[in-house]
Amino acid sequence: MQAPPIRKDGLQLDEKRKLHRAFWAVERVAWVTFALVLVLALAGLTGSGGPLSKVTVGFPAGEAEYPRVARWEASDELLVRFNSGAETRRLALDHSFFEYFEVEGVQPEPERTLTSHDGVVMEFSAQQSAPVKVIIYLRALHAGLVNYRIGLDDSMADASTMILP
């Protein structure tokens, strides 16, 4: 360990002013970055609520609202609304969905659950063809980007969710 040099003013101290200046600049940039992260979080891009945290896709039979950004081991929701018009409504989700999400509950409970080649189909019955609203309570099992397909009755749509660690 070398002793620090003696400065012109007589103080024996290694100040590294150049490094300080660089650090002070980095520090200010970091504070702005911290603030930006907060803005992104408020917008919903870090998951757990916020205007941008959900995506809504329309289908002939209704619409589905799935999380754009979810958090690993945190709860989330997939909301499906079927328009009025049929007694039996079918919601299909493919295998990759279940690889990344654990279904903690479905509200209302499906009348039947079928396994198909592509994934799982849940059937809900509607009294007098009334509109049906289904909420699936999810919990993300792994972090990463997951692409899956959501199907309402006969039409399918691609969806993707970023699961943050």
Partner 1 sequence: MDSVIRGIVIYLFLLIVVRLSGRRTLAEITAFDFVLLLIVAETTQQALLGDDFSLINAVVLILTLFVTDIALSYVKKWSPKTAAMIDGSPTVLISLGKVDQEALNRARVDLNDVLEAAREQHGLERLDQVKFAVLEVGGNISIIPAEQQG
Q: Give residues in contact with partner 1 (CB under 8 A).
A: 7, 9-11, 13-16, 19-21, 23-24, 26-27, 30-31, 34, 73
Give the nearest distance from C-beta 137 to partner 1 in angstroms: 17
Which residues are CB-contacts of 93 (< 8 A; sequence separation ≥ 6)? 119, 120, 122, 148, 149, 150, 151
Contact between 139 and 160 (Cβ < 8 Å)? no
Of 26 and 43, nearer to partner 1 (C-beta) is 26
Of 10 and 51, nearer to partner 1 (C-beta) is 10
**How many beta carbons lie within 10 A of that of residue 123, not counting itself?**
14
Give the nearest distance from C-beta 92 to partner 1 in angstroms: 31
Of 32 and 115, nearer to partner 1 (C-beta) is 32
Give the nearest distance from C-beta 71 to partner 1 in angstroms: 11
Q: CA distances (Å), 71 to each of 2, 7, 95, 129, 151, in order?
A: 49, 53, 20, 36, 23
Q: Which two tokens stand for residue 158?
A: 């691609």
Of 21 and 133, nearer to partner 1 (C-beta) is 21
Give the nearest distance from C-beta 34 to partner 1 in angstroms: 8
Of 12 and 115, nearer to partner 1 (C-beta) is 12
Contact between 94 and 148 (Cβ < 8 Å)? yes
Give the nearest distance from C-beta 28 to partner 1 in angstroms: 9
Contact between 42 and 135 (Cβ < 8 Å)? no
Instruction: Determine the Cα–Cα distance for residues 89 and 103; give it in Å rounded to an integer.
Output: 19
